[in-house]
Amino acid sequence: MTTPPHVLVTGAGPGGLTLARVLQRHGIAVTVLEREADITTRDQGGTLDMQRDSGQVALASAGLLEEFLRVSRPEGQDMRMLAPDGSVLIDERAAPGELFNPEIDRGDLRALLLGSLAPGTVRWGTRLDRVEHRDDGGLDAVLAGPPDGTGPGTREHVTADLVVGADGARSRVRPLLSAATPSYTGVTFVELRVTPASFPGLEALVGRGGMTTRTAGRALFCQRLGDGSARVYAGFRRPPGWAAEHGLTTTAGVLDDPAAARAVLLTAFAGFAPELRELVVRSDDRIVERPLEMLPVGHRWDPVPGVTLIGDAAHLMSPFSGQGANSAMLDAADLAREVAATPHDLAGAVARYEATMFPRAEHNAAGAAQGLERFFSAEAAADPVAVFAEAMAEVGAAGAYGDAGGTGPAAARRTG
Ligand SMILES: Cc1cc2nc3c(=O)[nH]c(=O)nc-3n(C[C@H](O)[C@H](O)[C@H](O)COP(=O)(O)OP(=O)(O)OC[C@H]3O[C@@H](n4cnc5c(N)ncnc54)[C@H](O)[C@@H]3O)c2cc1C
């Protein structure tokens, strides 16, 4: 082993960047491989709530909690629930000073974490194809060439003492540890974006935070972002292939014909109030199909020297626990702490991390699976307020993982 150890992380998402930051705070060398060319390569997506018992704990380990609280949006905790006819069922506003789970745009979170790293930590435009064992017991990272898929693959000898897969749902590190692959949950989200300019009634309809409305098997979720725009997720319980089912095509998940996609969505939400349908009518042309996938609840593996996983790579789950990014970051903080505690016993550090992470992930994944079923159930459509109250009551009964899992307010906001 090199002294001190060198850690190679695949993936510059919330998990990988948090890991890099906390390791660097402990003086441990780390390199992050990221397939995207830079932080501007893709639309950074919607907003994340950072929970006091998970994401905020990780941010504190990263020394970034104060800065997070400065740039996050406590008002994003507001929650509205509407009936499909537009009547208001719940209109909750965050109390002044409430910091249980303030929101931050994904792009802002990524920028916060990136800005805290030593220059050159992230190798952009570097796509890992696979990790292989060498005859001498070391590991080879095999890079897949430029992110656009052109050019020959490059075989690169990794000098790392520990390889961490933080590369999300389709992890290229996971096969070293487990044969598990993600499966479809039965629910697809279609993501749209509206702005106050395109929809002047946005604030009145959605408020400052999140809004949901549903009928059996169909729902609209709406979240305000820092720039005043909103992400809208039209959720359906459908067999896989929503777009293809309607004769629509996609390129990397983006619908090729947004007008046709809107027409299909408006048919699906025909019974909803005109102002709710306006969220579809007034959306911009970037419409994305997101089939929700999950790894098996309780996914785990036998130890393999020099390799582990964090975040979605380890425990991909639907967003119905509200814990995906939060737990990716908590995994990262836990792993970094263990590595820093015994830098010359990485096997021990990984074993202690996995012993903490496995049961937590199982608890959260079970909550996400249960939350998804509950959200789209006929019972919840018939009486969403009662189901919301039930979910909130479970908050008080949250168990070993505090608010983590499918029982916390974030989960209740999604599942209620
Ligand atoms: C609609 C929706 C809403 C959500 N809402 C919430 C929420 O409110 N709260 C919450 O906590 N979670 C939420 N989640 C879940 C959350 O987005 C994920 O759990 C979180 O992003 C996982 O972080 P990660 O770092 O493990 O992986 P990712 O964010 O997936 O990051 C992985 C990184 O690895 C890179 N990468 C992948 N493959 C390679 C490769 N081969 N080589 C190099 N780099 C690679 C990717 O480009 C990416 O940058 C939501 C998810 C969805 C779909």
CATH of the domain at 277: 3.30.9.30
Q: How far is the CA of 328 from the centre of ligand 1 (A)?
A: 9
User: pLDDT tens across 216-228, in order?
Assistant: 889 999 999 999 9
Whether pLDDT at 407 is above 50:
no
Q: pLDDT exceeding 70 applies to what percent of the chain?
A: 90
Check pLDDT > 90 for residue 206. yes
How far is the first Cα of the chain from the last one, in angstroms, to the nearest whole number?
A: 50
Q: Lowest mean pLDDT: which of 40-54, 161-175, 358-372?
A: 40-54
pLDDT band at 396 (very low <50, low <70, confident <90, very high): very low
Residues 364 and 332 in one domain: yes
Query: Same domain for 57 and 125?
Result: yes
- In a shared domain, residues 107 and 16: yes
Residue 29 confidence (pLDDT) above 90: yes
Same domain, 138 and 61: yes
User: How much is the average pLDDT of 328-349?
Assistant: 97
CA separation for the pair 397, 399 (Å, rounded): 6
The pLDDT, as a whole number, for residue 37 is 87
134 pLDDT exceeds 60?
yes
Pocket of ligand 1 contains residue 246 by CB under 6 Å: no
28 plus 168 within the same structural domain: yes
Confidence of residue 142 (pLDDT cuts 50, 70, 90): confident
On whether both 336 and 283 belong to a single domain, the answer is no
Domain of residue 12, residue span: 6-76+98-180+296-415
pLDDT tens, position by position, 10-21: 999 999 999 999
Q: Does residue 38 sit in the same domain as residue 143?
A: yes
How far is 380 from 36, CA to CA, in rounded Å? 40
Q: Are residues 51 and 150 in the same domain?
A: yes
Range in 93-102, 155-164, 257-266, 391-400 with the lowest mean pLDDT: 391-400
Whether 83 maps to a domain, the answer reads no
Q: Is residue 85 part of a domain?
A: no
- If asked whether residues 334 and 383 sit together in one domain, one would say yes
Residue 158 has pLDDT above 60, yes or no: yes
Ligand 1 centre to CA of 14 (Å) is: 7
The predicted structure's pLDDT at residue 5: 85
CATH number, position 406: 3.50.50.60
Is residue 89 one of the residues assigned to a domain?
no
Number of H helices, E strands in the chain: 14, 19
Ligand 1 contact, 186 CB (< 6 A): no
Pocket test of ligand 1: the residue of 38, 110, 127, 312 to mutate, having most ligand atoms within 8 Å of its CB, is: 312
Whether 312 has a binding-site annotation, put simply, is yes
Rg over CA atoms, the chain: 21
**Cα 8 from Cα 143, distance rounded (Å):** 13
Ligand 1 atom 1: residue of nearest CA: 319
CA dihedral 143, 19, 124, 232 (to 10 degrees): 110
Section 55-80 average pLDDT: 95
pLDDT computed for residue 403 by the predictor: 39
The two structure tokens encoding residue 74: 């406590």
- 48 neighbors 363 (Cβ within 8 angstroms): no
Classify residue 209: in a domain, yes or no: yes
Helix axes 324-341, 14-25, angle to 10 degrees: 30
Which pLDDT value is given to residue 96?
83
Do residues 164 and 235 both lie within one domain?
no
Give the burial class of 388: count Cβ atoms within 10 A of its Cβ; 0-12 exposed, 13-18 middle, 19 or more buried. buried
How confident is the model at residue 146, as a pLDDT? Answer: 56
* CB of 80 shorter than 6 A to ligand 1: no
Question: Is 42 marked as a binding-site residue?
Answer: yes
Nearest CA to ligand 1 atom 27: 168
> Do residues 122 and 33 both lie within one domain?
yes
For residue 208, being part of any structural domain is answered with yes
- DSSP characters for 83-136? -TTS-EEEEE-PPTT--SS-EEEHHHHHHHHHHTSPTT-EETT--EEEEEE-TT
Q: From the CA of 310, give the closest atom in ligand 1.
A: 26
Confidence of residue 399 (pLDDT cuts 50, 70, 90): very low
pLDDT at 393 over 70: no
- pLDDT at position 121 over 50: yes
Same domain, 103 and 170: yes
